Amino acid sequence: MPEKETLVMKFGGTSVGSADALAKAVQIIKDARANHNRLVVITSAMYGVTNLLLDSALFAAQGKIDSLPGTESALRERHFTAAEAMIKDGKLRNAVKAEINVLIQSLVNLCQAIAILGEASPRALDAVASLGERMSVRLLGAGAADAGTQSRVIESTRFIVTNAHYQNAHPDFKATTDKTREILNPLLDEGIVPITTGFIGATPDGVITTLGRGGSDYTAAIIGSVLPAHDVWIWTDVDGVMTTDPRIVSTARTLPEISYGEIAELAYYGAKVLHPKTIRPVVEAGIGLRICNTFNPTHPGTRLKANDQTNGKVNKGEQVIKAVTAIRKQKLVTIEGRGMLGVPGVAARAFGAVASTGTSVPLITQASSEQSICFAVPTESAHLVLDALQKNFALELSERDIDRVWATDEVAIITAVGSGTRNTPGVAGHLFSKLGERDINVLAIAHGSSDVSISLVVETNDTENAVKALHELIVK
């Protein structure tokens, strides 16, 4: 067994979503402990539980608590069924069920308080959302102990210290480093496996917070970076990062290796792999990161590597394009007019107006003549963005300096990702040729600022054909 080697493993919602999945996770923990002196385990809530909890809180804010008994029953059934199936020790099983029951009662109390107030504050929503992880960690911890792994359940609120920005809290890395080492290292030194909650932390005053989207992965990266660990493994329900969505292309395959820059682009452009903020602590700490499949644990998965230092030059036989992804349900918004030519500040005002609506812009392109600016926004936000732009440019529109502000019908952004897109001649030409062969019209194009992706906008009806066409450029 390697001396003092620390491994951090995180299990996603589907990996702890049933008794069968939990049993597999327990076996993976047991096997990993046999090969690593120091092991930390992080768990998400059971699949779908967080949404169920938050829906209950939002209904309560509207005075609707009729569905609360049904939610209670559903939570008990899922967690208790798993406990009955996987925990053989009756005393341990009953203790876990009692603890979970207390947490379910906490949900009821919180929702009743929310209903009385008629409002679900961000702080209250974090308290509700945290219950999923707090229930699942007890199941997984008991399962591991029942299987003979020396382990201890510890909620991450004890050592992940954050600010009070509820629903998307930011860790205080100095305080988190001190607390994590103080609490986890003595256990690790004794050979005990800490099993803790992803997604949640606490303010210095001990108030529960959540880390936002990708929170459990982020927890794994934070713990891995501050201990520090040698490796972080993310256990999910796929064999790793795939070349594209296998529901679109049946020949999609797992990438054995991908750079941090490439996976950040994939995550940004719709691939449900890792949230970009998950990657940062791991990159900065120089820690290995691997994505594995709970339901196929012998598969090597995908290993993340440092961004290549070859300036995008690809060796013979290497892939220029490694993956293709698609973001659906977008619209292209265009601001156009001859009066824009040479006028400073138009773009700043435009994106200031977009920002005022709370809308994220995934793609921007501008005509070299400076007579138009075009960018993508989610379909559901397009009307808000158009209203904000028309108000912001009301004078210019009335004086015809700007001819019009308009949006297309629904479109999709297709992104080809690969560090080889940077300096490999003819890549864009190959992309356009493949799309042209299938009579797919490109409405806009943008080369990502990270230099590892090229994005194309196509009509929504062409989405799947475009993905299939570009996937053909990925060679073995």
What's 337-358 look like in SS3? Answer: CHHHCCCCCHHHHHHHHHHCCC
Residue 131 included in any domain: yes
Residue 260 included in any domain: no
Verify that 226 and 340 share a domain, yes or no.
no
Verify that 436 and 332 share a domain, yes or no.
yes
Half-sphere exposure of 255 (CA within 13 A, CB side): 27
The rounded radius of gyration (Å) of the Cα atoms in the chain is 25
pLDDT at 10: 97
Dihedral of alpha carbons 458, 268, 429, 470, sign: negative
The parent domain of residue 164 ranges over 6-237
Is 110:123 a contact under the CB 8 Å cutoff?
no
Residue with the bigger pLDDT between 449 and 143: it is 143
Alpha helices in 118-236 (DSSP H): 122-146, 173-189, 215-226
Verify that 48 and 183 share a domain, yes or no.
yes
Verify that 233 and 328 share a domain, yes or no.
no
pLDDT at 476: 47
421 vs 456: CA distance, rounded Å = 14
- Tell me, what CATH number does 204's domain have? 3.40.1160.10
Residue 138 included in any domain: yes
Q: Which of 172, 206, 237 is the last residue of a domain?
A: 237
Verify that 232 and 327 share a domain, yes or no.
no
Q: Which two tokens stand for residue 70?
A: 């049904």
- Tell me, what CATH number does 398's domain have? 3.30.2130.10
309 pLDDT more than 70: no
Residue with the bigger pLDDT between 396 and 97: it is 97
Task: Give the range among 197-211, 238-252, 256-270 with minimum mean pLDDT.
Answer: 256-270
92 vs 80: CA distance, rounded Å = 13
Residue 261 included in any domain: no
pLDDT at 400: 87
Q: How confident is the model at residue 8 (pLDDT cuts 50, 70, 90)?
A: very high
In degrees rounded to 5, what are phi and psi of residue 447? -100, 120
Count CB atoms within 10 A of the CB of residue 64.
Answer: 13
80 vs 28: CA distance, rounded Å = 22
pLDDT at 317: 47
Nearest to 285 by CA among 215, 216, 231, 233: 231
Q: How confident is the model at residue 475 (pLDDT cuts 50, 70, 90)?
A: low
Is 31:149 a contact under the CB 8 Å cutoff?
no
360: helix, strand or coil: coil
* C-beta pairs of 342-351 under 8 Å, 24+ apart in sequence: 342/370, 343/401, 346/373, 347/373, 349/392, 349/393, 350/389, 350/392, 350/393
Q: How confident is the model at residue 71 (pLDDT cuts 50, 70, 90)?
A: very high
In degrees rounded to 5, what are phi and psi of residue 11? -110, 125
Q: Which of 175, 204, 237 is the last residue of a domain?
A: 237
Q: Which two tokens stand for residue 232?
A: 């972080």
Q: Which two tokens stand for residue 324?
A: 């293709």
pLDDT at 200: 98
Verify that 84 and 228 share a domain, yes or no.
yes
Q: Which two tokens stand for residue 236?
A: 């999910």
**Mean per-residue pLDDT, 69-95:** 97
Give the CA distances from residue 474 to residues 243, 244, 266, in Å, rounded to whole numbers and listed in that order.
Answer: 8, 10, 15
Reported as a single tens digit per residue, the pLDDT across 270-289 is 666 676 677 788 878 888 89
Give the CA distances from residue 394 to residues 176, 339, 372, 391, in Å, rounded to whole numbers and listed in that order.
Answer: 49, 14, 17, 5
In whole numbers, what is the pLDDT of the chain averaged over residues?
90
Q: Which of 178, 213, 237 is the last residue of a domain?
A: 237
Residue 213 included in any domain: yes
Residue 440 included in any domain: yes
Q: How confident is the model at residue 2 (pLDDT cuts 50, 70, 90)?
A: very low
Question: What's the total number of domains in the chain?
Answer: 2
Verify that 355 and 225 share a domain, yes or no.
no
Residue 257 included in any domain: no
327 vs 323: CA distance, rounded Å = 14
Q: Which residues pair with 375 in a beta bridge?
A: 333, 364
Residues in the chain: 476
What distance, in Å, lies between the first and last C-alpha atoms of the chain? 36
DSSP state of 139: H
pLDDT at 124: 97
**Mean per-residue pLDDT, 134-143:** 98
CB-based burial of residue 380 (10 Å sphere; 0-12 exposed, 13-18 middle, 19+ buried)? exposed
pLDDT at 266: 81
Residue 285 included in any domain: no
